[in-house]
Structure 1
Amino acid sequence: MRQAIVLVLAALLIGLVGCTPKMKTNTISQFNAEYDRVKGQGYQIQPGDTLDITFFYTPEYNATSVPVRPDGRIQLSLVGDFPIAGMTPDQAAAELKKIYTKELKNPDLAVIVKTFGASAVVVQGEVRNPAQIPLIGNARLLQIISQAGGFLPTADIRNVTIVRHSTGGKPLVTVVNLQDALQGVNPANDIGMLPGDVVFVRPLKMNNENRGGGMPVLTAPSAEPE
């Protein structure tokens, strides 16, 4: 489900960028604040993950390789369906302990993420291999683009658009100049990535006004920060 939402957002972003040369954007500071907020919360369980549920005093109820379904729920004995997506492992363990207290005398348990199925960034546009890139560790924007094969010669690396929807509300949108980041002029533009981020590398635009002969002029569309 989450992957489908991300791909829909990517399609909408491509259409938006293609139709609108100017759009209001968020600041890099807002992106960094959201990054710090999410990282501060710890990892949140997502559809596609698999979990191990370990009971310390009643191991007969242990559950291994439990899949988190697209609807964000898992199936457990004595509990049935449990909505776990969006919780940290510690939060999930605390909630399950409350439920199992009704059935077990010592329901101390731990929730461990065994495999991560939904941590990815979608990269589209003028890169060699547009794809959904697995997000490992504290990867940054240039690293993710490198994993997508790097920029094509037609890429407008001064105007790379990122959409972030981890807020749970209105997505954040920013446009960064990665040429500055590559040259070390403004390394802060190489922002940290979060699961579900969508990156769109625009193509360079040919100036249609230059029709008087000679070589066409390549220009980059501008963006207006909020």
Structure 2
Amino acid sequence: MKMESHFRIHLVILTLVLALAAAFRSYAAETDSRSDTESSDSLELLVGDEIRLSFPGAPELSGEQRIRRDGRITLAFVGEKEVIGYTSSQLEDKLLEWYDDQIVTKEVTVTLLSSTFPIYVQGTVLQPGEIMSDRHLTALEAVLKAGYDPKQANLKKVRVIRTEGDRRKNFNLDLQAVLEGEDVEPFFLKPSDIVMVPEKFIWTGRR
């Protein structure tokens, strides 16, 4: 009887692990398919990001750079420019402005190659704490990396806490809807964001 009980427990654990792995692969594939558009067009550049500048009409200006701690990069013939806070498309506009008198072909492409920053996952997860990411990470990906028990974690009421200067913002997310296949816009995290996963409330009927 004990052996049968242990076997059932191991079977349940294995089923949960396989389900989480399948969910992560499915969601990762979906977000990866959007990564070029999402990362380049809607996410702000951060300190430590590595970017590629491509000038079709002036290849001598093209190259790869990493954004320094002061938020700047060094541009040929232009000098040092602060670029953090811009999205890739916004930086493209600024580059055309900075090089307006020096290039004939008014075209430039900014590509985000890599990004490394910490985020934190707390609450009802299997491995709470810091997660270092080398790319822009969604809230769901962070929770999947930390691991969770579907019977205990309430993914319908996940909260992201973000500090910007002296202000703190809260974002309420329904990550369960994403896992269930609903068309929900991915929520991308920023450096030092805190993802809080609450516990499910289970009504026992007792007083």
Of residues 110, 128, 141 in structure 2, which corresponds to 1:112?
Answer: 110
Q: How far apart are residue 96 of structure 1 and its match? A: 1.6
Equivalent residue number for residue 187 of structure 2: 193
Q: How far apart are residue 65 of structure 1 and its match? A: 2.1
Distance in 2 between the 1:105 and 1:133 partners? 39
- Counterparts in 2 of 1:121 and 1:72: CA distance versus 1, 3 Å: same
Distance in 1 between the 2:111 and 2:195 partners? 27
Counterpart contact for 1:157–1:201, Cα < 8 Å = yes
> Where do 1:6-21 residues align within 5 Å?
none
- Counterparts in 2 of 1:161 and 1:139: CA distance versus 1, 3 Å: closer
> Where do 1:118-129 residues align within 5 Å?
118=116, 121-129=119-127
> Is 1:72 aligned with 2:71?
yes
Equivalent residue number for residue 170 of structure 2: 173
Letter in 2 for 1:47: V
Distance in 2 between the 1:133 and 1:187 partners? 27
Q: How far apart are residue 191 of structure 1 and its match? A: 8.8
Equivalent residue number for residue 5 of structure 2: none
Equivalent residue number for residue 61 of structure 1: 61
Q: How far apart are residue 87 of structure 1 and its match? A: 1.3
Gaps of 5+ in 1: 1-37, 205-226
- Structure number with greater CO (CA < 8 Å, separation at least 6) is 1
- Counterparts in 2 of 1:156 and 1:88: CA distance versus 1, 3 Å: closer
Q: How far apart are residue 136 of structure 1 and its match? A: 6.7
- Counterparts in 2 of 1:96 and 1:86: CA distance versus 1, 3 Å: same
Identity of matched residues, %: 21
Distance in 2 between the 1:111 and 1:90 partners? 8
Letter in 2 for 1:145: V
Distance in 1 between the 2:56 and 2:172 partners? 49
> Is 1:84 aligned with 2:83?
yes
Equivalent residue number for residue 144 of structure 1: 142
Gaps of 5+ in 2: 1-37, 201-207
Q: How far apart are residue 42 of structure 1 and its match? A: 1.8
Give the CA RMSD over aligned residues: 4.2
Q: How far apart are residue 67 of structure 1 and its match? A: 0.5
Residue aligned with 1:171, SS: strand
Equivalent residue number for residue 31 of structure 1: none
Aligned length: 157
> Is 1:163 aligned with 2:161?
yes
C-alpha offsets along residues 198-224 of structure 1, whole Å, 9 cap, x if unaligned?
1134689xxxxxxxxxxxxxxxxxxxx
Equivalent residue number for residue 44 of structure 2: 44
- Counterparts in 2 of 1:59 and 1:51: CA distance versus 1, 3 Å: same
Residue aligned with 2:195, SS: strand
